Amino acid sequence: MKIEANGVRYSVDVQGAGEPLLLLHGFTGTKKTWAKCLPEWTERFQTIAVDIVGHGESDSPEDVRHYKMEAVADALEIVLDRLGVKKTHVVGYSMGGRLALYFTIMRPHRIGRTLLESASPGLETPEERRARAERDDALADRIVACGLEAFVDEWENLPLFATQRDLPEDVRREIRRERLSQNPIGLAGSLRGMGTGRQPSLWDALPHCQTPIILVVGALDEKFVAIAERMAARLPRGVRRIVDGCGHAVHVERPDIFAKIVIEALSGH
**CATH label of the domain that carries residue 27:** 3.40.50.1820
Q: 175 lies in a domain? A: no
Give the mean model confidence (pLDDT) for residues 242-259: 95
Pick from 119, 106, 47: nearest CA to 74: 106
Give the mean model confidence (pLDDT) for residues 17-32: 96
Q: 129 lies in a domain? A: no
Q: 97 lies in a domain? A: yes
Q: What is the pLDDT of residue 165?
A: 85
Give the mean model confidence (pLDDT) for residues 86-111: 97
CB 70 within 8 A of CB 77: no
How many structural domains is the chain composed of? 1
Q: 42 lies in a domain? A: yes
- Relative to beta strand 8-16, strand 45-50 is antiparallel
Percentage of residues in the chain having pLDDT higher than 90: 91
Q: Is the pLDDT of residue 268 over 80?
A: no
Q: 180 lies in a domain? A: no
Residue span of the structural domain in which 12 resides: 2-122+200-266
Q: 88 lies in a domain? A: yes
Say how far apart CA 103 and CA 196 lie, in whole Å. Answer: 15
Q: Burial code of 173-204, b = ≥16 C-beta within 10 A, e = fewer?
A: ebbbebbeebbbbbbbbbbbbbbbbbbbbbbe
This prediction's pTM:
0.95
Compute CA distances 31 → 132, 218, 239, 254, whole Å: 26, 21, 26, 18
Give the pLDDT band (50/70/90) at residue 156.
confident
Say how far apart CA 193 and CA 191 lie, in whole Å. Answer: 6
Name the least confident of 156-165, 198-207, 213-222, 236-245.
Answer: 156-165
φ, ψ for residue 117, nearest 5 deg: -105, 115
Q: What is the pLDDT of residue 145?
A: 93
Give the pLDDT band (50/70/90) at residue 269.
very low
φ, ψ for residue 128, nearest 5 deg: -65, -45
Say how far apart CA 28 and CA 237 lie, in whole Å. Answer: 30
Q: Is the pLDDT of residue 9 over 60?
A: yes
Q: 164 lies in a domain? A: no
- Relative to beta strand 8-16, strand 213-218 is unpaired
Q: 140 lies in a domain? A: no
Q: What is the pLDDT of residue 157?
A: 84
